[in-house]
Structure 1
Amino acid sequence: MHVHVIQHVPFEGPAAIDPWLTQRGHHVTRSLMDRADNLPDPETIDFLILMGGPMSVHDEKSHPWLVREKEYLGQWLKSGRPTLGICLGAQLMASSLGATVRRQEDREIGWFPVESIPQLEGFSFDSSFMAFHWHGETFDLPPDALPLARSVACPQQGFQWGPKAIGLQFHLETTPSSCAQLVEHGESDLVPGPFVQTKSQLLADRPEDYQQLHLGKVLDYLLRD
């Protein structure tokens, strides 16, 4: 299977997603949008993954490639093929599906619990769990989408739209290395707040939260026959 990753900045890559896919024999390619990479012919790919980034979905003047990506994503979602959006990627999905993306009351940066919202049909997380967050905006639930998770700071932490599209506000792909990259490039975001952890809290050793169990469940679901 050909999996294409849309990456918005160099320091927010697929992290744990990449080895998970390559170990299972999938072919992975990338476009780095802030370096003006081309987007592939959608007919040549099977699964699209959209990563995070420090910009807003509304920043089209400062990041004109957002217009091109939104048009591409809107057409892709109509195809019904597997799609996973993470943080900014989920916000772009929500926007493309007609939902509002807006600044939330409090930034959410750090390790905070996510509460699962079980569904009778479609995808569901097994239980509530600790997840890594780094966002100051949120999205409303898109029309016809099912909510998947929430947190104290953010009532919309994830959604499923149709049988093959999932958007997640939090970062299941996080590894110690990718966390360190975010801290290095986004340290100015660490302004004290009720849901903003300190640098030392973000970088603390917490092997139980890096197990990638929930990431594997999401990817298995999207790649099912």
Structure 2
Amino acid sequence: MRTVWALRHLAFEDLGLLQPWFTRRGWQVQTWDAALDDLQALDPLAPDLLVVLGGPIGAGDDDRYPWLLDELALIRRRLAAQRPVLGICLGAQLMARAAGAAVAPMRTPEIGFSPLTLTPAGLRSPLAPLAGQPVLHWHGDQFALPAGSPALATTTHCPHQAFMVGAYAMAWQFHLEVDAARLEAWLVGHAGELRQAGIDLPTLRRDAARHGAGLAQALDAVMTGWLAQLGWA
């Protein structure tokens, strides 16, 4: 039985659609709360796959949240051992930082559903099924690219939307994992951010209903392709 660990930063920003995806395939899933659990006590090489999830804090906020240093150390050890890692949003930014790349605020947050533009490298990657598929963007920071890792996808507001380190580590600035049927928890949990950014909630709800099925299919295709690349098909 393969194992996957999820590092969670906020209760409702969980594995989402990835939870049943792994369960259907017989994986054992364990979730750790990065802010509450003792990350120093965890063996970063223990699970087959580590998934680092999103959250509303910055990847460089360790002066305010000192446990981020433990999380970065865990991710850094995992990458050094070339053990599979998936980072989503904040998780992708932490992966970039652990790999020596900078993370910085954007001029304006990117929140809502819109498609990616895949680069030539992206079209040759497990992200190829995302061509033309609107995905959920929800971030105010962006990462620079680790040395040797080309951009796989871009948008007008954010030129670096995804990267891979070898075949074993993949980072998404966007969200494929969000279950459209549970989006309301995000709308409540991030009410202040949405109000400040002037985001129209009815539009987000309509777009989630419109694109939810396509996102689930895209997630399945991306994950299936990546695991095949890892030899786990």
Same fold (TM > 0.5): yes
- Compute the displacement of 1:48 (Å): 0.6
> Counterpart of 1:182?
186
Gaps of 5+ in 1: none
What pairs up with 1:2-21 in 2 under 5 angstroms? 2-21=3-22
- Compute the displacement of 1:123 (Å): 3.2
2:62 match: secondary structure: coil
Between 65-74 and 38-47, report the one with greater CA deviation. Answer: 38-47
2:151 match: secondary structure: strand
- Compute the displacement of 1:217 (Å): 2.4
> Counterpart of 1:35?
36
> Counterpart of 1:213?
217
Q: Deviations over 1:84-131 (max 9, x none)?
A: 100000000011111110001110111122112232754342313201
Q: Deviations over 1:155-191 (max 9, x none)?
A: 1111111111110000000112442221111111124
> Counterpart of 1:151?
155
RMSD between aligned residues:
1.8
CA 1:34/1:43 → structure 2, altered by over 3 Å: closer, same or farther?
A: closer
> Counterpart of 1:61?
63
2:26 match: secondary structure: coil
* Identical columns (%): 32
TM-score if structure 1 supplies the norm length? Answer: 0.92
Greater percentage in helix: 2
Between 80-89 and 196-205, report the one with greater CA deviation. Answer: 196-205
CA 1:205/1:155 → structure 2, altered by over 3 Å: closer, same or farther?
A: closer
Between 130-139 and 36-45, report the one with greater CA deviation. Answer: 36-45
Between 121-130 and 64-73, report the one with greater CA deviation. Answer: 121-130
Match among 77, 80, 83 for residue 82 of structure 2: 80
> Distance in 1 between the 2:62 and 2:208 partners?
37
> Distance in 1 between the 2:29 and 2:71 partners?
19
1:197 match: secondary structure: coil
- Compute the displacement of 1:146 (Å): 2.4
Q: Figure out how many residues of one structure are paired with residues of the other and give that number.
A: 223
Instruction: Work out whether residues 115 and 129 of structure 1, in 8 Å CA contact, stay in contact via their aligned partners in 2.
Output: no
Which letter does structure 1 place at the counterpart of 2:33?
Answer: L
Gaps of 5+ in 2: none
2:177 match: secondary structure: coil
Which letter does structure 1 place at the counterpart of 2:225?
Answer: Y
TM-score if structure 2 supplies the norm length? Answer: 0.89
